[in-house]
Amino acid sequence: MTDPAERLASLIRTIPDFPKPGIQFRDITTLLLDPEGLRLSVETMAARIKGPVDLVAGIEARGFVFAPALALRLGAGVLLIRKDGKLPGATIAEDYALEYGTDRIAMHADACAPGARVLLVDDLIATGGTARAAVRLIRKAGAVVEQAAFVIDLPDLGGAAALAQDGIDVQALVAFPGH
């Protein structure tokens, strides 16, 4: 198996009917257990990034796994995007819609300087609600975010397309049909 996407897809476990019936949960923990798969995912993501990056923004929680590894390869710092109320200093926040209700993500108000070039990273892009909120939040801080990298895209749910409409170049290592 020489194609990186095939190799990585083979390391991602699918758990049917989790967290509810009809959902095909794409579990990256099996990818993370494989040192070669983890290395391949980080190296492939890093190779697709265009231009210099000042910060790699990881979305809580699984984005925290990939953000530091990518930041080291790209010579960048790490910006944490967390659920509201989890950061100790002054924060700025952004609300986003869920299937039923809303949620809120935050980052430290002084985490990135205006004009900083930020790469957004997470393990999976589905509907794009959290990722789009993260883009709005980073832009609210005055930073420039034009790229996002994901291990998995679920294109049927439209998140990558929505991010593209927001002016984001979206890279994903593998795509799975359905949700």
Residues classed as catalytic: 62, 99
84-121 burial code (b ≥16 CB/10 A, e <16)? eeebeeebebbebeeeeeeeebbbbeebbeeebbbbbb
Please return the burial class of 18, using the count of CB atoms within 10 Å of its CB with bins 0-12, 13-18 and 19+: exposed
